[in-house]
Amino acid sequence: MRRTLVLLAVVSIASAVPVDAAKKKYSHEEYFEHYEGTKTCLTCHEDEAVTFFHSQHYQWTGETPAIVNADGEKLGKKNTINDFCTNPIPAWIGITKNSRGEILSQGCSKCHAGLGKMPSPELSREQLENIDCLICHASGYNRNLYENEDGSLEWKPILWKNQAGLDSVSKRIGNPKRTSCLRCHSGSGGGPNYKRGDIEYELADTDRSYDVHMGTDGGDMACTDCHGGENHRMQGRGVDLMGSDSPERLRCDNGVCHDSEPHAKELINRHSARVDCTVCHIPTFAKADATDMIRDWSTPAYNEAKDKHVATITMAKDVVPEIGWYNGTVWAQLPGVPITTQSDGVVGMVIPQGSLTDPESKLFAFKVHRGRMPVLTEDRWLLPINVEEFFADGDIDGAVREAAHVLYGLEDIDYEWVDVKRYMGIYHGVQPAETALRCLDCHGPDGRLDWAGLGYETDPLAAVLAPSH
Amino acid sequence: MSRTKLMIVVVLAGIVALSFASGATAAKKKIKGQDVYKEFCKPCHEVDSDNGEYTPMSLIMDQWETFFEEDFEETHKELNDPNNDNTPVTDVLTEEEFEALAKWTIDHAADSEQPMTCG
């Protein structure tokens, strides 16, 4: 009896679950008895599944209105090459283990909202049943990669052997929670905050001093408050993302939340015409977890603790963004075309378009990710890398050749390494007014802006204050 | 003393006693639920075990609560632990160990934010 009393206290404190949790009703409690995979959802939601099938989150490609050199082609992570894990096709799904038998990785499909099959542009029943509705919509749902009896691999609920537990979780349906989104958007690229820099796990439960919008003592907004859209088409797109789910740009100052003159002081409002909110209100990023700033694939390293081969990665924390002009469009280095080298001798993977003289441009805050990537010696095409194989054996040459074969169908290639850079928009970790940048953070002798690089003759404030002749 | 006053005194005394007990527990070396699981549970519930494989992520939080509150005693009452001098399984854990095991298991259940096997 004494043990039971202690346990009752533990249970109620430890799990923070009401005592009558077992009796609580979930949103889909009445709609079905047993969850039998996606077909259970399709019984009522086939139309929604079709909209999701066509979305970026499923296809990993999309319309490209913001890519100036896309020529109308649908693009996305599936058919382009990036300077993080390069391309998902050669390493879509698999269980890669180290010499100790520990799992190193499970393929890029770990972050695809499907059950393991490659997304196809052709709609079919098989593709609809491949959608993993629960990964975004079921609170408490978790999955892992399992091998079926026929040897195929499939992402399944970790509760697949526990029907009663699975039935409970699969009925907890709602809009995606922060943790659902952050599971992939924070964890991508190899570790917490490696890729994006400003989308940290910290956002799951934070305060306004970290992010004035998502802080529970601030706006307490969820990801879907800004990014939710109709028919599974998300609002907003990272600067370096190829596809767009929605044609409209997601803006802070479009009048829905803030108007174009949101400040009390007219002097600051005047800045809003050419300076995006992010420049002043996101003074630094990677505030909780360091982010990957340079990934050199040409110089393999070995992580002894994990018994894992990795690229040489330079991490940084509390990074000051680079500021550049951006008019909502970018130029992208596409696969199968010769690389284009920028004036600094570096290949631009994604370069924002815009300038001082372009009235559509504003200054924005960017993370600039740098790296070293393979290119074909003769044709100068960018090459992907089969990173999963490399993690286990450290054979970077074999990983490049294997990926070149999978993506381009090439054999016996000659390749070399080039320096690359990618501009990524910084939009999260927004500071309230009291901790935003002040005038002298940009203007004055120690200001953070490279005025000449931005096209100005000098600091505009200095020009105004200079004595006239 | 009225019956109501007597009940209040008893409840207050209970709270004080629990506070002391809690303080005493905190002063001791912290027991890790994961260690308890590995020593006492895993030997009979590992992968492919005839007794069923159980790790925290085998069940959801509600199921673990029900198990520790209602089912543990019933399902384990006639079993002895061969690794602990055949002590009855229901007596082999101290209260602190039982408490740590329950907390760790529930914290890492299948529907928690950090589902775990035994590590």
| B72/A contact by beta carbon, under 8 A | no
A169–B110 CB contact, under 8 Å = yes
Residue B53 and residue B16 share a domain: no
Number of structural domains in chain B: 2
Q: A350 has which bridge partners? A: A332, A422
Identify the pLDDT of residue A248.
Answer: 86
User: What is the CB neighbour count within 10 angstroms for residue A394?
Assistant: 15
| Chain B nearest CA to A176, separation (Å) | 14
Radius of gyration of chain A (CA): 24
pLDDT value for A197:
98
**pLDDT for res A469:** 58
What is this structure's pTM?
Answer: 0.88
**Predicted local distance difference test score (pLDDT) of residue B29:** 74
pLDDT of residue A13: 41
What is the ipTM for the molecules in this complex?
0.81
The predicted-structure confidence for A72-89, as pLDDT tens digits, reads as follows 999 999 999 999 999 999
- Are A162 and B111 a contacting pair at CB < 8 A? no
Q: What is the pLDDT of residue B47?
A: 87
Report strand pairing: A362-376 vs A322-326.
Answer: antiparallel
Do B111 and A164 lie within an 8 Å CB cutoff? no
pLDDT of residue A20: 47
Tell me if chain B has a CB within 8 Å of the CB of A8.
yes
Of the candidates A11, A22, A141, the beta carbon closest to that of B68 is on A11
> What is the pLDDT, as a whole number, of residue A466?
75
Residues B89 and B104 in one domain: yes
pLDDT value, residue A21:
47
Give B60-108 as a DSSP string: -HHHHHHIIIIIHHHHHTT-EETTTTTEEHHHHS-HHHHHHHHHHHHHT
- Give A13→chain B minimum CA distance, Å: 9
pLDDT at B17: 55
The reply to whether B21 and B79 lie within a common domain is no
The domain of B77 spans 31-119
Contact B69 A7 (CB under 8 A): yes
Based on the fold, state whether residues B80 and B25 are members of the same structural domain.
no
- Cβ(A133)–Cβ(A46) under 8 Å? no
How far is residue B36 CA from its own chain's centroid?
9
* Local structure of B40: helix, strand or coil: helix
A138: which strand partners? A173
- B60 and A8 within 8 Å at the Cβ level: the answer is no
Do B62 and B88 lie in one domain? The reply is: yes
Question: What CATH code is carried by the domain that includes residue B86?
Answer: 1.10.760
Higher pLDDT: A108 or B28? It is A108
pLDDT in tens, A421-436: 999 999 999 999 999 9
Q: Exposed (0-12), middle (13-18) or buried (19+): which is A284, by Cβ within 10 Å?
A: middle
What is the Cα–Cα distance from A459 to A457, expressed in whole angstroms? 7
Residues B71 and B87 in one domain: yes
Interchain contact, B115 vs A165, CB within 8 Å:
no
Write out the two tokens for A111: 């972050």
A138 and B60 Cβ atoms separated by less than 8 Å: no
Which parts of chain A register pLDDT below 70? 1-24, 467-469
> Sorting pLDDT into bands at 50, 70 and 90, what band is B3?
low
Element (H, E) at A416: strand A415-425
Q: Which of B25, B62, B97, B116 to mutate to test the interface with A (most CBs of A within 10 A)?
A: B62
Rounded to an integer, what distance in angstroms lies between the CA atom of residue A382 and that of residue A297?
A: 13
- Asked if B22 and B51 sit in the same domain, the reply is no
The reply to whether residue B102 touches residue A3, judged by beta carbons under 8 angstroms, is no
Provide the residue count of chain A: 469
How many C-alpha atoms does A358 have within 13 Å on its Cβ side? 16
A83-94 burial code (b ≥16 CB/10 A, e <16): bbbbbbbbbbbe
